[in-house]
Amino acid sequence: MSFSQFQAHLRKGKFSPAYFIFGPDAYLRDAARKALMDALTKAWGGEPPTSSVDLDQTRLDELLASAATPSLFAPRQVMHIRGVMKLRDRQVRELADYLGRPSPATVLVFLAGELGRDHRRKKIFKTLQAGSRMVDLALLNEAQTRSWITKALGKRGFSIQEEAVECLVELQGTDLGRVHLEVEKLALLAGDGKTVTLEMVQESAGYCRDHTVFDFLDAVLAQDRRQALRLCCELSAQPAEMLSMVTLLGRRLRSLLQIQEIPPTTGLGEMARQVGANPYFLKRLLGPAKRFRRQALLTAIDRLASIDDGIKRSSPDSRLCLERLVADLSAGAGSARR
């Protein structure tokens, strides 16, 4: 069940005795939890008593006893529960027995982060799947994130330029926690102007130097070797910043590959739809897409993946590898030696 499907379920007003909310995006999980609480508060005519339980610190039998016992303060209660995926088989059977005959006065909300294949094979996952409403919150894609940004700023009374939205998604990705913080900063930057611009997004990106990562990307794609290397050295002092540079450069190169695969007679609007990019940015990539050879791009993307892995492993050679790649890409012939 996606977030939008979950919202549709809540609007029906027919609530389940147990929910299992999980996914990789902490902001989205918390938004789902808050949406559930708001819907219950509205349907029940007041905010119900709520408790938070961590099964690392509380015994399961105590939790289930509390769930089965009506609250002294209200006819209904909500319990937020973490750590459920660590339950052992005997405890899983206890939970299954409760979920088979849940208390009508209690709503259990199980919360977890990202669950891989191994987690989904566990008996506890199958038990929750059978006895609760599953809310599996996948990360938003880039198009959904762009829409979310526009709506989030719109609720605050702000508008945002299309190129600014594109820039924000390219810089922050689709993690709504990070995007939300940037939206808050941008609302402050926009002030009385009420319009978020591309320059504001670049200003709030966190770089305190005279140049931004976008200057670096432009220099690489323009094959200005001297400028590209200078900016690479200037901006890659910290591993986190270097990782951002690698991620964004990889996205740009993949966009160039996509453009090369589209017939040249295709209109800009249709091309933007196929690539999944804003026409403003796409137009700036048409020239580089003609200059770089396909094999050079494929090789560069492969090298970027190795550099990304090296940064995450704290390899001391990562920065040098990035500089060599930048030198090759901006050499003028579009070559990318291994």
Calpha distance 248→323 (Å, rounded): 15
Same domain, 274 and 234: yes
| pLDDT on residue 206 | 53
CATH code of residue 29: 3.40.50.300
Nearest to 138 by CA among 114, 112, 168, 103: 114
- Residues 196, 160 contacting (CB under 8 angstroms): yes
Cα angle at 112 between 108 and 116, to 5 degrees? 135
Q: Exposed (0-12), middle (13-18) or buried (19+): which is 139, by Cβ within 10 Å?
A: middle
Could you tell me if residue 335 is inside a domain?
A: no
Q: Which residues of the chain have pLDDT under 50?
A: 207-209, 333-338
pLDDT tens across 121-176, in order?
A: 999 999 999 999 999 998 888 888 999 999 999 998 999 998 899 888 877 778 88
CATH code of residue 299: 1.20.272.10
Could you tell me if residue 289 is inside a domain?
A: yes
Same domain, 150 and 131: no
Q: What range defines the domain where residue 251 resides? A: 213-329
Could you tell me if residue 338 is inside a domain?
A: no
Asked which of 203, 233, 250 is the last residue of a domain, the reply is 203
Nearest to 277 by CA among 143, 174, 141, 168: 143
| pLDDT on residue 210 | 57
Asked which of 154, 178, 203 is the last residue of a domain, the reply is 203
Same domain, 129 and 11: yes
Q: Which residues, 6+ apart, have CB-to-CB distance to 123 below 8 Å?
A: 89, 92
Q: DSSP assignment of 208-246, as one string?
A: -SSS-HHHHHHHHHTT-HHHHHHHHHHH-SSHHHHHHHH
Same domain, 42 and 61: yes
Same domain, 89 and 163: no
Could you tell me if residue 336 is inside a domain?
A: no
- Residues 50, 78 contacting (CB under 8 angstroms): yes
Nearest to 278 by CA among 200, 198, 163, 188: 163
| pLDDT on residue 207 | 45
Same domain, 53 and 16: yes
Same domain, 116 and 66: yes
Could you tell me if residue 337 is inside a domain?
A: no
| pLDDT on residue 335 | 42
| pLDDT on residue 209 | 45
pLDDT tens across 54-88, in order?
A: 998 999 999 999 999 877 777 899 999 999 999 99
Name the domain count of the chain. 3
Could you tell me if residue 208 is inside a domain?
A: no
Same domain, 122 and 40: yes
Same domain, 248 and 124: no
Question: Is the whole model's pTM more than 0.85, yes or no?
Answer: no
Same domain, 131 and 148: no
Asked which of 136, 161, 187 is the last residue of a domain, the reply is 136
| pLDDT on residue 208 | 41
Could you tell me if residue 154 is inside a domain?
A: yes
Q: Exposed (0-12), middle (13-18) or buried (19+): which is 50, by Cβ within 10 Å?
A: middle
Same domain, 94 and 192: no
| pLDDT on residue 38 | 95
| pLDDT on residue 205 | 65
Same domain, 10 and 118: yes
CATH code of residue 176: 1.10.8.60
Could you tell me if residue 265 is inside a domain?
A: yes
